[in-house]
Structure 1
Amino acid sequence: MTSCNVLTPIQVRVLGVLIEKERTVPDTYPLTLNSLLAGSNQKSSRDPVMELTESDLIHALDELKSEGWIADHLSGRVARYSQLFGKVLQIPSQSVAVLAILMLRGPQTAGELRNNCERLHRFSDISAIEAFLHELAERSAGALVTLLPRQPGEREPRWAHLLSGEVDLAALPTRSAAPDPSGLQARIEQLEADLAALQAEFAALKSQLGD
């Protein structure tokens, strides 16, 4: 098994999407390549936004499978993919949810994470999610997250994952907007993303039936 801190941005995106969709649209999980591509290239709820190709995903999936991060399954004539993220890292489901949101949306404050995690795992308050963040940062097997220095224009420091190594602070944009306390925008974005994934799944099924 390879060290967890060597994942490429595309591998991080693939794992994040698999974790997210397993919890938000379980009826379509494990994911087909088409659904995974749609989830990876979403314009909402993603930072950074990517424009990956099937070839990009196939290459990343092959690497992840060889290192034990994912499993593939054959459903009819269609390959489907599931993640083994929590098993590989030996972390609880709450921590998996937190990391998935960091992997999909980039660095966030504890408050933003709590709002954005709601559909993956509902944390009772900010102190609850902070406890898991500190646990992930202080793992004896190696830190998986880090608290970034507060940047100019930010009210609170942000957390970032370390699955691809240390964070390049110079490459991070500064933000001045306060988090949405209601989490309404995050929920709207997630619903739009789930709809896009279902549309991709329907298109793939329609194509198979047409064959």
Structure 2
Amino acid sequence: MRPLSLLETRVLGVLIEKAHTVPDSYPLSLNALMAGCNQKTARDPVLNASEAEVQTAVDALKVLHLVFESSGSRVTRYEHNMARTMALPGAAVALLSVLMLRGPQTSSELRANCERLHKFADVSSVEAFLEELAERSDDKGGPLAVKLPRAPGAREARWTHLLAGEIDLSALPVAAESADFVAASELAALKAGQQAMQRDIDTLRALVDRLYDELGVSRNA
């Protein structure tokens, strides 16, 4: 399958999401789909796609059998076909949907953000499905997710989808590998403590100097 465009991944992600969050309104009309694509919350990046642009993305996804039109309504409605076309379990589809809608996330963030689409027992179960997506064999279409290098200042590595194509991991900033990683807030606290200790030392030195002066004793004696 060819790499998808940003808008194509957004359309696909919205259809998967809305199938779970607004089942009474699903499949979606073009207007509802456009609103979901341009939604201001739970979206990264925020888009401002036109109706024509969304329709073009839908038509492209139909060619790939990832989206199809539903019957039985005077208004044309659309639904996704990702699980069947790509032979993926519901949990994996939910993870990919949230990654397409919200961008790279940690395993913990994915578990929380997938809550309405699929309930994962714990973070380890999220990671198990992500690992399966990352190790997907070429005969099944190749990997669909990848774990990004831990960014500087971050405690956890994030995951992203590969539906839009491969990512050059070597171009991403990487945190220094260290078992003694200290967050910026912890460094600030350590620095503040060091400054307070230095002030105490200066105060003690001044007190000792005054005592020497009062006793008339030379410090070098």
Shorter-chain TM-score bucket reads: 0.7 to 0.9
Partners in 2 of 1:166 and 1:122 — Cα distance?
28
Indicate the RMSD between aligned Cα atoms, in angstroms. 2.0
Q: Is 1:167 matched with 2:167?
A: yes
Q: Is 1:148 matched with 2:148?
A: yes
For residues 100-140 of structure 1, the C-alpha deviation after alignment (integer angstroms, 9 at most, x for no partner) is: 00000000000000000000001010001110000110011
1:89 paired residue number: 86
Deviation, structure 1 residue 52: 0.3
Partners in 1 of 2:76 and 2:58 — Cα distance?
11
Q: Is 1:121 matched with 2:118?
A: yes
Partners in 2 of 1:21 and 1:107 — Cα distance?
20
Q: Is 1:63 matched with 2:35?
A: no
TM-score normalised by L of structure 2: 0.74
Deviation, structure 1 residue 66: 1.6
Q: Which amino acid aligns with 2:63?
A: S
- If you compute each CA radius of gyration, which structure gives the higher value, 1 or 2? 2
Which residues of 2 match residues 195-210 of structure 1 at below 5 A? none
Q: Is the CA contact (8 Å cut-off) linking 2:149 and 2:172 kept in structure 1? A: no
Q: Unmatched 5+ residue regions in structure 1?
A: 178-211
Q: Is the CA contact (8 Å cut-off) linking 1:72 and 1:81 kept in structure 2? A: yes
1:47 paired residue number: 44
Partners in 1 of 2:83 and 2:115 — Cα distance?
18
Which residues of 2 match residues 7-18 of structure 1 at below 5 A? 7-18=4-15
TM-score normalised by L of structure 1: 0.77
2:21 paired residue number: 24
Aligned length: 172
1:107 paired residue number: 104
The equivalent position to 1:133 in structure 2, one of 124, 130, 143, is 130
Q: Is the CA contact (8 Å cut-off) linking 1:160 and 1:167 kept in structure 2? A: no
Partners in 1 of 2:73 and 2:35 — Cα distance?
21
Q: Which amino acid aligns with 1:114?
A: R
Partners in 1 of 2:17 and 2:168 — Cα distance?
25
Deviation, structure 1 residue 168: 5.5
* Cα gap change, 1:17 to 1:171, in 2 (>3 Å): farther
State, as a whole percentage, how many aligned pairs show the same letter: 53
Q: Is the CA contact (8 Å cut-off) linking 1:70 and 1:85 kept in structure 2? A: yes
Q: Unmatched 5+ residue regions in structure 2?
A: 176-182, 185-221
